[in-house]
A and B are shown apart, each in its own frame.
Chain A
Amino acid sequence: MKVHLKKVGLPVLAFIAVISVWESIVRLGWISAFILPEPSKVWSSLIEDWPELWVALKTTTFSVGISFFLSVSIGICSAILLFTSEMVLLALYPYTIFFQTVPIIAIAPLLVIWFGYGVPAVVASAFIVSVFPVIASTLTGLLSADPALRDLFKLYRASRTQSMVKLYLPSSIPYIMNGLRISGGLAVIGAIVGEFLGGVGIGSVIDVARAQQRIDKVFASVLLASALGLLLIKSIDGVSYWLLRHWHPSEAKES
């Protein structure tokens, strides 16, 4: 109980402290509210602009959801394909790195040209930045299956499908989960970047508010985008715990 109180109490205390200092600094006029709006103003923007922010948040959540789903399914399938055939791995893996290195800001305008304004361009942008961590982590996981266990499967003449389903994929889950945490955060960033130009969602609200010099609204939107990322990563943590709690040290419960 005491530990629990510390674990919840201390972050809350730290939060209150930071917010109070921030609020006083701006109110005392040490920093202009034009540059850094005080927390109370961000809060009131959240309340006043809620109808608009809520619509935008729903759109962004939808785009992030679709692109994350695509990244996970396409990423895992691609990794299995790369793993199954050495030829495919040698031929294509160097190009998958392209997804990691492409400057998304630079190609976002292209995406709008190709997919038009709106959700499709946003999904494409979020997918491009979030798929690589899934491919890379799944591939690492598949390649790290224990050699002794591979021998065991070989000894009992397991088929390729049996080995994949009963050995390689389960061994990869801890790696995949790690990849998904990174991918989830990136999907939100990729979506916001796409929305800057795509004209929908939270990204678009930020873009317009900035032009109108509504810095408080920018902050409120950024807060919502961060909350969305946090929610996604926490859900992945939950799934990870559920899948690994019985067997992987990373999720082992204290006994």
Chain B
Amino acid sequence: MEERTIENRKRKGLPKTVYALKDGSVYTRLSFPIMGFGQIARGQIVKGILYMLTELFFVLYMLFFGGSYIAHLFSGNLGTTLSGERWNEDLQIFEKIKGDNSFLILLYGVVSVVVTLAFVWVWLMNVKGSYENDLRRLKGENIATFKDDVRLLVNERFYAPLLILPFIGLLVFTVMPLVFMVLIAFTNYNYAHMPPGKLFDWVGFANFKTLFSLSGGTSGFAFVFLRVLLWTFIWAFFATFTNYFLGLAIAMIINKKGIKLKVLWRTLFVLAIAIPQFVTLLLMQKILDSDGILNKILGTNILWLTDSRHLSILPRVMIILVNIWIGVPYTLLMCSGILLNIPTDFYEAARIDGANAVKIFFYITLPYMLHITTPYLITQFVGNINNFNVIWLLTGGGPVDNVYYGGGTQAQSTDLLVTWLYRLTTDRNPKYNVASVIGIVIFVISAVLSLITFNRTSAARNEGAFQ
């Protein structure tokens, strides 16, 4: 009888918390304000004490630190008082006053909101857990002991202990900074508004308007943005697929039956990985310099990396070539590892059916490779959209091209969105707000791209295909 009503309640679809308040025992209701009460009352001492400590910590945090920042964050402005000295009429002295700092208000505000959300999540667990105990008592079942909880964590819920630490790291070093920087896009934080000297404030979508409105003419932000965007895509496409297919080709050649000295050949390429990327890039930049060794050997005077004629086509091609030099060893290593993992019975079966080498490649090798490496290709493509080092160390984003990229946008002709972003934040006149909008654009592009491809690939749909 009791059980049926429980089932009926669930069907109505209200959150469990509501029932916990409505139908829960006194203990459960008390655990709304006092976390852990329901657990301790039912004998789950350790769990209960942990909940109580969490609540204590949260209250103290809010009282002494987070509370004021959250209040500031939601007050509608990011601080009004500048720090400085103020004349105190009563004491007849100049008083030092600690003013607001928009930057810290925003940063610690975000931190405090995240802490609050985490607390709410724990609080919900506490209430639900207590209500769960009530239901178990009604059904005449035993309340889970601490030992039972631990057993659950190493069996059905083994994912929880596995995921908790990596996710805390993620929260602190990725999620919080990102939320913060996304919020910057809606402020006027730039060289003219640098706290604590000058405060910044919310400006709504004004920065988005600056970047996307065509009113600036063909050298204004909107056109420059489109040019940079187009080049970012061209670069990412070529950088990803040249590396992948060249790496696969070389790996297949080395793996071919009858080729001797496999280790030697592989080592020749892998050696390139040993040199840190930034060293290689600085070295290549010097080799390709107008006075560099390549021009000396060829007896020419070609501006490999700085020729801005024909839309800087030469520097662009050189960047992609240098990237092949850097990237192919990695794909070569990865591909040769996976090639060896292809079950040999696939090949035997194909050979018995009379398939030739080309057919075997297109019907077995390539599908298998793509099945395993599609996620890798997606990450590589997105990685190349964000490939800072290659561009920054080879050309620095240059050459400067005032015809197509001028107008105070601080962009240059081989800039990717991400190097443009970097220049906007590290320039002598930083524009954090515009940089942040560009960051959001990069994110939207990559997010849309990879969510579509990722969910359509066989790797995601059909994880067990080759098991």
- A and B found bound together: no
